[in-house]
Copies of this chain bind each other. A is one copy, B any other.
């Protein structure tokens, strides 16, 4: 049974004076385009305020095509989140390891605050879990926290002394909690100049380390 192409053809020809040009894009290009679009959308609006239909319309493609690249809405969201996470971690790890510990922490915090101010909205949804208890999203967040903690302390002369301590892990994660809360609070209403915040954060880290391993401070 031959397809009913002719009918379609006729209809098509009748309705569209000039047929809509299908722009074919390379696989990677399309994917990249969609990702940037999605990142923007998810930064501006909340997860469920962003509809796939809107996104597809913005990208001037059909919804089906979007699903060809990202099998679910979450996948799209998570892919964007991963990119942001990667950028953040990259910024932090780019601080030279050879610096003396104190300056290294200071520089790292500077990088961190740079990122925070620049990507404020994305940062909040990154570390505040823009989606409700999705395991994959949670995974990304835990991952970035872990890597951040490492990046702050790894290679520092403090680390070998602290690594064994039972409270060490907890202390570092807790301090990251401090940093996150303080940063978000600072984003919403800057109570102090940026440098002062950075100093506060770094001094608090030192103080906390002092609690975990008092002999270090002397």
Contact = CB atoms under 8 A, between A and B. Distances in A.
A175 to B, nearest CB: 7
A132 B138 CA distance: 13
Given A46-B133, A204-B211, A196 B181 contact: no
Given A129-B128, A132-B132, A174 B169 contact: no
Contacts of A197: 170
Interface in A84-142: 124-125, 128-134
Contacts of A185: 169-170, 173-174
Interface string A156-200: 000000000011011101111111111001100001100011001
Given A125-B133, A130-B132, A182 B192 contact: no
Interface residues of A, number: 41
B191 A171 contact: no
A119 to B, nearest CB: 15
A48 interface: yes
A175 B47 CA distance: 29
Contacts of A180: 177, 181
A61 interface: no
A40 interface: no
Given A48-B132, A130-B133, 10 more contacts: A46-B133, A124-B133, A128-B133, A130-B132, A170-B182, A170-B192, A174-B178, A204-B207, A204-B208, A207-B210
Nearest 4 CB-CB pairings of A with B:
A177-B181, A177-B177, A207-B207, A174-B178
